[in-house]
Structure 1
Amino acid sequence: MAETFPVKPKLRPTSNKTTPTPESKYWKSFKIPKDIETTPSKSLTYPITSLSFSPIAPHDFATTNSATLTIYSGQTLEPKSTINAFADTASSASYRCDGKLIAAGDLTGTVHVFDAKSRNHLRRLKGHSAAARLVRYPRASDKFHLFSGGDDSLVKYWDVATEKCLFPLPGHKDYVRCGDASPVSDDVFLSGSYDHRVKVWDVRVCKDGPVMELNHEKPVESVIYLPSGGLVATAGGNFVKIWDVIGGGKLLYSMESHNKTVTSLCMGKVGREGGEEADQYRILSVGLDGYMKVFDYAKFKITHTTRFPTPLLSIGFSPDCKTRVIGSSKGNLYIGRRKGKPEESEDLGDRLGFGAVEDEPQRRVLRPSYFRYFHRGQNQKPSEGDYLIKRPTKVKLAEHDKLLKKFRHKEALVASLNRKNPENVVAVMEELVARKKLIKSVSNLDTEELGLLLGFLQKYSTLPRYAKLLTALLNKVVELRAEDIRSSDHLRGHIRNIKRGVEEEIRIQQSLQEIQGIISPMLRIAAKR
């Protein structure tokens, strides 16, 4: 028998305040010492189209906005140099694996290669007939090639030394806007397009077309490899999706937590202050709603959320886990920096201004060869390097989960309604929709059970996070059970209450729109001042 898992509610915005976890405290520790405005005039705004960190310490980072590429110091966070060699708006900055060269595209379709230190213009790779929005170097050790993508729907693989395109890779049917190089192979990379497709290319067999294709079902804005090289994250619309490319391109999870388009993804890592989650990777996403989300793809849950005042277009995280940079549509750079703690090995006398202090005798470390090692109590904390073996926890199934396991769909719906937990009820309804059994279950409800369902719809159908599903279900219930509703005063009372609730919600929304129409011009006038 296949293993059964409980039905879980989808990730939805909530207003409940919870106690911050160690990981949440870790992400909040990225204070913003600098909010840099990259545009000289407030009347002109140039969005930060891309961010890229150097893989070599001190991990300088480069940004593109307008027709400029700016390199910032990874130590002082101040601009080190500016490159103004672009004929049009620059995009998609990318460092080479040794950090010595940096490449970027522009709207003329040219890919430019510069010396990161001297700013010398080394190469111009001309081959795209429209804007070059994607430029990436391989990650591991290849210093002689890069790949690019443009609004001409083409992906190209270049020999940088000779400025020749080795492989033009057709296949996309719309703008190519994003891509990433594999962390485990210099021959494999991704490209994402507005045709909703993500293609996996292998330059060893690229003449036969892409080796795999993923359908994101929305225009793809960003795509990244996860550190193992076997998983891929894609962003488009307000979705972030996780794919198993080793398993044949299987969709593992779809996250809908942003309210507007997700514009950029990057990988971050939880430091040692993150509690039990230390040294684990996270997906960082930003969107036009101004939110940055931290997503634990091992547990499929959001671990931290931060709101910024402007729509966000790009995000980068330094390899040493100390700096996080976010670029906005209005040209702002939100640079978050963590202060490093003094090393434990630092000499106490030097820190206090005295001479050398004698080391205190260290406590004897327990080793597997000692007798006491095998008689440690259960409260003994594990040492670094110990392997913890935990007892497998038995999955506890709620009543509705047990009924779903037995394919008793109507009883599962009624059981969830009786528990009066809206998240579980909606989760059960979504599961029945996936099984194509929700309408049949509603049709089989008796009068008392139908009253229970209408009471739930009356209470929660106007809540924004449930309205999409429950409003559609309400229409179906009224259509299917019209005769039963007419014959029962109790059920007609529920319908009248639902009607009043919907009319009240419409009045509230109209009032809010009127207020927004009054305030918006005032805010625009204040912003110009």
Structure 2
Amino acid sequence: MAADQPGIAKTFPVKPKLKPISKKSTPESKYWKSFKTQPTQTVISSITSLSFSPISPHDFAATHSATVTIFSSQTLEPKSTISSFSDTATSASFRSDGRLIAAGSHSGLVQVFDAKSRNPLRRLRGHSRPVHLVRYPRIDKLHLFSGGDDAIVKYWDVTSETPIAQFIEHKDYVRCGDGSPASDDMFVTGSYDHRIKLWDVRVSSASSVMEVNHGKPVEDVIFLPSGGLIATAGGNSVKIWDVIGGGKLLYSMESHNKTVTSICVGKIGKDRGEEAQQYRILSVSLDGYMKVFDYAKFKVTYSMRFPSPLLSIGFSPDCLTRVIGTSNGIIYAGKRKTKKNVGSELGNFVGLGPIEEPPKRVLRPSSFKYFRRGQNEKPSEGDYLIMRPKKVKLAEHDKLLKKFTHKEAFVSALRGKNPDIVVAVMEELVARKKLLRCVSNLETEELGLLLGFLQKYSTMPKYAGLLMKLAKKVLEMRAEDVRSSDVLKGHIRNLKRSVDEEIRIQQSLQEIQGIISPLLRIAGRR
């Protein structure tokens, strides 16, 4: 704490007010960091899609090579493998009851499997090119829709293996889509023709009911939980569109440096109290970053870097598991530990089941043992803890400031050569209106220490605001002392050289900015 009035002793160490730009740790960032990421076993090829079962325990399916692998969400280990594909498998999708799973392939065939037995139940033939989109509606168990590189979207009756409707408005590869949470008869698809189209199978004309232009080849599209908004990914941007408003663009997030390959909706866990019902958009990109986007406030709230390009992402309905697939066949699975599953992990052993701990005898205030508890007794929930204050250790400059020996404190900080501490002491002396007096009373050697410090740190953005003003005052007040000492003249020459070099750097940066800014404006119009 700074002493604003003379005569008040300073009892706490000085701390720098000028802090470097850093990411503050927020409750939300702590939440996303609680997903302890661990890579699963490496598979043969890229992870083209990830999909969670809507039914507990929410196992997830990953498509890679000519295989669909189902992983346990509890152990993050493979449970079963489906290999009934003649070519690369794509876009696995669980039915609403979790009993069936459908997937496409580069051969153009869509297959439906029993998730438990892995037996193929239906083969849907109709696409002439690779199929990259297969989705079940949110609740409907009898239909699914698909899209492929033949630019055709089909709506299937799974039972009869026949397409009920066929949509041919796209002009390029259809690579993504999602079912509406508001109606099982509506779904949206995205294509490399830059267009996102909303379809309603109840419309007899087989034409889209809404169309928006993302501006880049569309890699992924999802409905947001309300059903009135959609999010699209393509190029280096994620865009939010208002479906009810006729396809109005609400926001464009361009925080990725390379193509955004996949997006999904994540939900803040129910154990977060007031944050319980907040949703986020999770996006991954070829730049190796996963970003969390709060579309209610239109800002990125968390970012995480991975060592390889990212192709797919999934988030479990129970908010406990997050999985990310990469181009080199690694799945980064993050499992969030809660009090409930930590207890189950400690109490379970192979073949023995959960081990129950013996109940502890609760001490009541009416018993004698209650008043004989020792210092090692752990507080129970609801107890009020009285903590012993920690003894504050003061550095040499803090002790001198406490004694109001300002010049000695200033010199002691300069000899320590810690720029944060020196600047903190300067700020304290400014608050006490003693800094200039200390400067005027410095001996020649001490003045050399100060000039050397100014030469080294004055051009650093973190300290420049204070130190450049102080350097000007030092030159005005101690001009005669500088002229009479060759050592001090050398410090001044070095300071001038540092300032001139910083000015040249800033001018070069402004020239570069002048060249790049028009190019960025032109690129933004395309």
- TM-score by length of structure 2 reads 0.64
Measure how far apart 1:471 and its partner are: 6.8
1:148 is paired with a residue of what secondary structure?
strand
Measure how far apart 1:32 and its partner are: 1.6
8 Å contact from structure 1 (residues 23, 277) kept in 2: no
Residue of structure 1 aligned with 2:336, choices 335, 338, 343: 338
Matched, 1:36 2:41: yes
8 Å contact from structure 1 (residues 149, 178) kept in 2: yes
Residues 210-253 of structure 1 deviation map (CA, whole Å, 9 limit, x = unaligned): 00001001000000000000000000000100000001100000
CA RMSD of aligned residues (A): 2.9
| Distance in 2 of aligned mates of 1:111 and 1:231 | 28
Q: Could you say if the C-alpha distance between residues 167 and 35 of structure 1 is closer, same or farther in structure 2, counting changes exceeding 3 Å?
A: same
1:129 is paired with a residue of what secondary structure?
coil
| Distance in 1 of aligned mates of 2:218 and 2:152 | 15
| Distance in 1 of aligned mates of 2:512 and 2:363 | 63
Supply the AA of the counterpart residue of 2:261: T
| Distance in 1 of aligned mates of 2:520 and 2:198 | 38
Residue of structure 2 aligned with 1:354, choices 353, 358, 365: 358
Structure 2 match to 1:117? 116
Between 271-280 and 304-313, report the one with greater CA deviation: 271-280
Measure how far apart 1:354 and its partner are: 3.1
Matched, 1:163 2:161: yes
Structure 2 match to 1:72? 71
Structure 1 match to 2:174? 176
8 Å contact from structure 1 (residues 50, 93) kept in 2: yes
Structure 2 match to 1:91? 90
Structure 1 match to 2:238? 240
| Distance in 2 of aligned mates of 1:48 and 1:109 | 19
Matched, 1:21 2:21: no
| Distance in 2 of aligned mates of 1:184 and 1:292 | 28
| Distance in 1 of aligned mates of 2:164 and 2:263 | 29
Q: Could you say if the C-alpha distance between residues 278 and 128 of structure 1 is closer, same or farther in structure 2, counting changes exceeding 3 Å?
A: same
| Distance in 2 of aligned mates of 1:457 and 1:76 | 54
Matched, 1:130 2:135: no
8 Å contact from structure 1 (residues 461, 471) kept in 2: no
Q: Could you say if the C-alpha distance between residues 104 and 273 of structure 1 is closer, same or farther in structure 2, counting changes exceeding 3 Å?
A: same
Measure how far apart 1:22 and its partner are: 0.5
8 Å contact from structure 1 (residues 220, 235) kept in 2: yes
Structure 2 match to 1:427? none
Supply the AA of the counterpart residue of 1:247: G
Supply the AA of the counterpart residue of 1:259: N
Q: Could you say if the C-alpha distance between residues 345 and 122 of structure 1 is closer, same or farther in structure 2, counting changes exceeding 3 Å?
A: closer
2:307 is paired with a residue of what secondary structure?
coil
Q: Could you say if the C-alpha distance between residues 342 and 129 of structure 1 is closer, same or farther in structure 2, counting changes exceeding 3 Å?
A: closer
8 Å contact from structure 1 (residues 23, 275) kept in 2: no
Residue of structure 1 aligned with 2:254, choices 253, 256, 270: 256
5 Å-filtered alignment, 1:10-409, equals 16-39=21-44, 46-140=45-139, 142-205=140-203, 207-272=205-270, 277-342=275-340, 353-355=357-359
Percentage identity across paired residues of the two chains: 64
8 Å contact from structure 2 (residues 40, 77) kept in 1: no
Supply the AA of the counterpart residue of 1:130: R
| Distance in 2 of aligned mates of 1:33 and 1:137 | 30
Matched, 1:469 2:467: no
Supply the AA of the counterpart residue of 2:86: A
Q: Could you say if the C-alpha distance between residues 355 and 136 of structure 1 is closer, same or farther in structure 2, counting changes exceeding 3 Å?
A: same
Q: Could you say if the C-alpha distance between residues 345 and 277 of structure 1 is closer, same or farther in structure 2, counting changes exceeding 3 Å?
A: same
8 Å contact from structure 1 (residues 70, 83) kept in 2: yes
| Distance in 2 of aligned mates of 1:281 and 1:287 | 20
Supply the AA of the counterpart residue of 1:355: P
Residues 162-183 of structure 1 deviation map (CA, whole Å, 9 limit, x = unaligned): 0001111110000000000011
Measure how far apart 1:342 and its partner are: 3.3
Measure how far apart 1:271 and its partner are: 1.9
| Distance in 2 of aligned mates of 1:94 and 1:359 | 54
Residues 444-470 of structure 1 deviation map (CA, whole Å, 9 limit, x = unaligned): xxxxxxxxxx99994754678x97326
1:330 is paired with a residue of what secondary structure?
coil
Residues 378-420 of structure 1 deviation map (CA, whole Å, 9 limit, x = unaligned): xxxxxxxxxxxxxxxxxxxxxxxxxxxxxxxxxxxxxxxxxx9
| Distance in 2 of aligned mates of 1:297 and 1:53 | 23
1:310 is paired with a residue of what secondary structure?
coil
1:191 is paired with a residue of what secondary structure?
strand
| Distance in 1 of aligned mates of 2:224 and 2:105 | 27
Measure how far apart 1:33 and its partner are: 3.4
| Distance in 1 of aligned mates of 2:202 and 2:519 | 52
Structure 2 match to 1:417? none
Supply the AA of the counterpart residue of 1:22: P
Residues 326-346 of structure 1 deviation map (CA, whole Å, 9 limit, x = unaligned): 000000000000112139999
8 Å contact from structure 2 (residues 111, 122) kept in 1: yes
8 Å contact from structure 1 (residues 22, 274) kept in 2: no
Residues 62-86 of structure 1 deviation map (CA, whole Å, 9 limit, x = unaligned): 0000000101112211111101100
Residues 284-315 of structure 1 deviation map (CA, whole Å, 9 limit, x = unaligned): 00000000000000000000000000000000
Q: Could you say if the C-alpha distance between residues 461 and 277 of structure 1 is closer, same or farther in structure 2, counting changes exceeding 3 Å?
A: farther
Measure how far apart 1:17 and its partner are: 1.2
| Distance in 1 of aligned mates of 2:194 and 2:30 | 36
Supply the AA of the counterpart residue of 1:124: R
Pair member with larger Rg:
2
2:138 is paired with a residue of what secondary structure?
coil
Supply the AA of the counterpart residue of 1:94: S
| Distance in 2 of aligned mates of 1:124 and 1:472 | 48
Q: Could you say if the C-alpha distance between residues 165 and 56 of structure 1 is closer, same or farther in structure 2, counting changes exceeding 3 Å?
A: same
| Distance in 2 of aligned mates of 1:61 and 1:467 | 48
5 Å-filtered alignment, 1:392-431, equals none
| Distance in 2 of aligned mates of 1:24 and 1:220 | 29
In the alignment, structure 2 segments of 5+ residues that lack a partner are: 1-19, 345-353, 366-460, 462-502, 522-526
Give the ranges of 4+ consecutive aligned residues of structure 1 lying more than 4 Å apart after TM superposition: 272-276, 343-346, 356-361, 454-457, 470-473
- TM-score by length of structure 1 reads 0.63
Q: How many residues align?
A: 357
8 Å contact from structure 1 (residues 266, 315) kept in 2: yes
Supply the AA of the counterpart residue of 1:16: I
Q: Could you say if the C-alpha distance between residues 314 and 337 of structure 1 is closer, same or farther in structure 2, counting changes exceeding 3 Å?
A: same
Residues 140-187 of structure 1 deviation map (CA, whole Å, 9 limit, x = unaligned): 2x1000000000000000000000011111100000000000112100
Supply the AA of the counterpart residue of 2:21: N
1:342 is paired with a residue of what secondary structure?
helix
Supply the AA of the counterpart residue of 1:83: I
In the alignment, structure 1 segments of 5+ residues that lack a partner are: 1-14, 40-45, 362-419, 421-453, 474-529
| Distance in 1 of aligned mates of 2:296 and 2:520 | 33
2:220 is paired with a residue of what secondary structure?
strand
8 Å contact from structure 1 (residues 147, 155) kept in 2: yes
Measure how far apart 1:352 and its partner are: 8.9
Supply the AA of the counterpart residue of 1:354: P
| Distance in 2 of aligned mates of 1:360 and 1:177 | 66
8 Å contact from structure 1 (residues 460, 467) kept in 2: no
1:36 is paired with a residue of what secondary structure?
coil
